[in-house]
Structure 1
Amino acid sequence: EVTNMNRDLLRKYKEEMHLRKKLHNELVELKGNIRVLCCICPIKLEDGDGPDACSVVSVDPQDDSILHMSYQGKATMFKMDKVFPPQASQEEVFQEVQPLVTSCIDGFNVCIFAYGQTSSGKTYTMQGPPENPGINQRALHLLFSEVVRKVPDWDYIIKVSMVEIYNEALRRDLLGKDLHKKLEIKLSPDRSGRLYVPGLTEFTVTNVMDINRVLHFGHTNRTTECTNLSEHSARSHALLIISIHGVNSSTGIETCGKLNLVDLAGSEHVGRSGAEGSSLQETQCINKSLSVLGDVIYALRYKPGHIPFRNSKLTYLLQDSLKGDSKTLMMVQASPMEKDVNETVCSLTFAQRVRSVELGP
């Protein structure tokens, strides 16, 4: 009788866990499997108070999903899932991201990427300063709090890797001792169809100190170089890849999820960037990979037979988080300044294009 009672309790527990996961996923899907959030960056002190420093964008006072642009007498409206004003806190932004991070624990693949021109606040949103961390650190902290909450029913292993894509090559293992070893994307030998990078350093993180140490080490190794647009303009895409493997100690059920957090290199016109020589090649490669990302988004929207994931290392590595039942969140960074209006229009137009996509099997 006791055995039958235990069996019945286990069955009800499985049903409850399945229902919780199902309801959470339905909530996320109601908001859209691809969501687009927009962050308007503050006007910087170094931009002064001249006419070019005037803000040309604003959030609709009645609807925080609408951004208005007013320039040279022309008014344009852009529709997002949510628009954050310049004074929005990192915590406010992360509250919108949080449900997607939780989906990783349930076994889904998630991609969160920051897109925008150089100096529009991408690295601030994703990484943030130590005293005011961005999405990367907050996501890992949330994962740990969820893991602790589920003990002893679930056992989880969280692994972290970081890689830099530079000039259309996987240039650096940002957590490895040998930063210049050759890296390639391969099909997993387990015949699952998944992609992986042989030799890419992967750390198992078990506490907050591990998180801080790993993130600091990786970001220190990231390539930066001076351009006319920014003294610290990142010239590479940086991917923080988090894998979460869970086993339910009572039922034996396993989940495998992946969270890709991507700080994209700045999108900028070659002429305006002032780039020459090797920097010109960098800019061209950056723009190519971002263009391919747009092509992939377009192909997903209209569902032809071939999606051009392989046309760029960035989309090839991210493909399992851009298709099927994956969840994707784009953080588009918008400069409010008049001098940046052309780049801002390009970023917002691309964001609306992304928002039109519906992922499916």
Structure 2
Amino acid sequence: GADRAFTFDHVFDTAAAQHEVYEGCAQALVERVLKGYNSTVLAYGQTGSGKTHTMGSIGTPSSAVPEAALGIIPRTVAEIFARVAGGDGELEGAALAASASFIEVYKEDIHDLLQPPIEAAAADGAPKLATLEVREKEGAIALPGLAMRPVGSPEEAMAVLSDGSSNRATGATAMNATSSRSHAIFTVSIELRLRGGKVLTPRFNFVDLAGSERAKRTGASGDRFAEGVQINKGLLALGNVISALCEKHAHVPYRDSKLTRLLQDSLGGNAHTLMIACVSPSDADMEETLNTLKYANRARQIQNKLLIAQDPVQARIADLLEQVETLIEC
């Protein structure tokens, strides 16, 4: 067919090291989070293309992974803690309090991966997990009952990721023996107290989307087929949201799926968002690769509305103190 051209900020080949991907993509978002902006990294692509490897969202403690193999999540979390501990510039004298949450969207149900299972694992090895409902609070998406675990170090954050990963839905398909059958969102929520009393409250979301491919290629049947239908439904809804935002529609269909509700702030909302399109170099995967590139190319056109995430009470106090100082100077 005809040649197609796509524009991206970076292109990494199969020889790219994990640190190169991190430095070329996600590292810049650390700076933005420490200035108070919400940030999101999404990994999108077909099953087996390296999404989970790139993100580093596997159920293995980072201490057990060779440094060269560490993905975006452990590298990002480590740099956030290191930057605050270093105390350079605006971060001099800053205090950091962080907590982590981990959820999955499985068959249009939102599961809290950090809550104990309601029922023990059945014969298929999948424990039954508690479901959460999406609520909207003061214009922001909320999940009442969501477990938030305090983390005081990168190691503690990775232990939370490891705990949650053990509950995540996986299953064998013809394309991947341990295919992720759910969309997963690992979130690090930060409270950063700066000198002078300013308190920033940004979040960093790491999104590992389930594989995007036709059921025929996965050889799926039974539960795997039903999972694939729901995965593609969520990804289709995400594609429709991306299209509506690119074309500046008055109505954006965020409510068409749980996935798009959860990503509402990241897509067209209040966050710096990076999409990593993972593709296969194989000729046999050309159609899936083309679809992934089209999807990511559209997402690149979205413009978010960025605001610093700040504790409203502390923001008001800081504003009043500034007014008092101005009056004293007068």
Normalised by the length of structure 2, the TM-score is 0.82
After the TM superposition, which residues 8-157 of structure 1 pair with which residues of structure 2 at under 5 Å, given as runs?
A: 75-96=3-24, 97-127=26-56, 130-131=65-66, 132-150=69-87, 153-157=93-97
- Cα contact 2:267–2:302 (8 A) shared by 1: no
- Cα contact 1:110–1:321 (8 A) shared by 2: yes
Query: Identity percentage over the alignment?
Result: 38
* Amino acid corresponding to residue 256 of structure 1 in structure 2: T
Give the structure 1 partner of residue 198 of structure 2.
253
- Cα contact 2:8–2:297 (8 A) shared by 1: yes
Give the structure 2 partner of residue 263 of structure 1.
208
Give the structure 1 partner of residue 312 of structure 2.
none
* Amino acid corresponding to residue 187 of structure 1 in structure 2: E
After the TM superposition, which residues 211-222 of structure 1 pair with which residues of structure 2 at under 5 Å, given as runs?
A: 211-222=157-168
**Aligned partner of 2:267 among 307, 322, 333:** 322
- Cα contact 1:118–1:267 (8 A) shared by 2: yes
Alpha-carbon RMSD across the aligned residues, in angstroms, is 1.7
- Cα contact 2:47–2:212 (8 A) shared by 1: yes
| Superposition deviation, residue 103 in structure 1 | 1.1
The whole-number CA distance in structure 1 between the counterparts of 2:83 and 2:266 is 22
CA change 1:75–1:193 in 2 (3 A) is closer
| Superposition deviation, residue 205 in structure 1 | 0.7
Normalised by the length of structure 1, the TM-score is 0.75
The whole-number CA distance in structure 2 between the counterparts of 1:329 and 1:337 is 25
Give the structure 2 partner of residue 175 of structure 1.
114
Alignment pair present for 1:186 and 2:132: no
Give the structure 1 partner of residue 292 of structure 2.
347
- Cα contact 1:111–1:322 (8 A) shared by 2: no
* Amino acid corresponding to residue 154 of structure 2 in structure 1: V
* More displaced stretch, 343-352 vs 316-325: 316-325
1:17-39, CA deviations, whole angstroms, 9 ceiling, x for partnerless residues?
Answer: xxxxxxxxxxxxxxxxxxxxxxx
Secondary structure, aligned partner of 1:77: coil
Secondary structure, aligned partner of 1:112: strand
The whole-number CA distance in structure 2 between the counterparts of 1:326 and 1:154 is 22
Secondary structure, aligned partner of 1:83: coil
1:294-333, CA deviations, whole angstroms, 9 ceiling, x for partnerless residues?
Answer: 1111111222221111111111012112224421100000
Equivalences, count: 284
- Cα contact 1:105–1:256 (8 A) shared by 2: no
* Amino acid corresponding to residue 83 of structure 2 in structure 1: E
The whole-number CA distance in structure 1 between the counterparts of 2:103 and 2:216 is 29
Give the structure 2 partner of residue 34 of structure 1.
none
* Amino acid corresponding to residue 127 of structure 1 in structure 2: G
Alignment pair present for 1:242 and 2:188: yes
The whole-number CA distance in structure 2 between the counterparts of 1:144 and 1:185 is 30
Alignment pair present for 1:209 and 2:158: no
* More displaced stretch, 86-95 vs 123-132: 123-132
- Cα contact 1:300–1:359 (8 A) shared by 2: no
More strand by share: 1
Secondary structure, aligned partner of 1:92: helix
Give the structure 2 partner of residue 38 of structure 1.
none
1:335-361, CA deviations, whole angstroms, 9 ceiling, x for partnerless residues?
Answer: 000111111111111111111222247
| Superposition deviation, residue 210 in structure 1 | 0.7
1:136-170, CA deviations, whole angstroms, 9 ceiling, x for partnerless residues?
Answer: 11111111012212365222211100001101110
1:268-308, CA deviations, whole angstroms, 9 ceiling, x for partnerless residues?
Answer: 10221111122211111111111111111111122222111
* More displaced stretch, 108-117 vs 212-221: 212-221
Give the structure 2 partner of residue 164 of structure 1.
104
1:108-157, CA deviations, whole angstroms, 9 ceiling, x for partnerless residues?
Answer: 11111100001000000001672211011111111101221236522221
Give the structure 2 partner of residue 63 of structure 1.
none
Secondary structure, aligned partner of 2:47: coil
- Cα contact 2:18–2:70 (8 A) shared by 1: yes
Give the structure 2 partner of residue 232 of structure 1.
178
The whole-number CA distance in structure 2 between the counterparts of 1:314 and 1:128 is 18
User: Where do 5+ consecutive residues of structure 2 fail to align?
Assistant: 59-64, 119-128, 307-330
The whole-number CA distance in structure 2 between the counterparts of 1:265 and 1:240 is 14
| Superposition deviation, residue 209 in structure 1 | 2.6
User: Where do 5+ consecutive residues of structure 1 fail to align?
Assistant: 1-72
1:203-228, CA deviations, whole angstroms, 9 ceiling, x for partnerless residues?
Answer: 11111331231121121221111111
**Aligned partner of 1:334 among 271, 279, 299:** 279
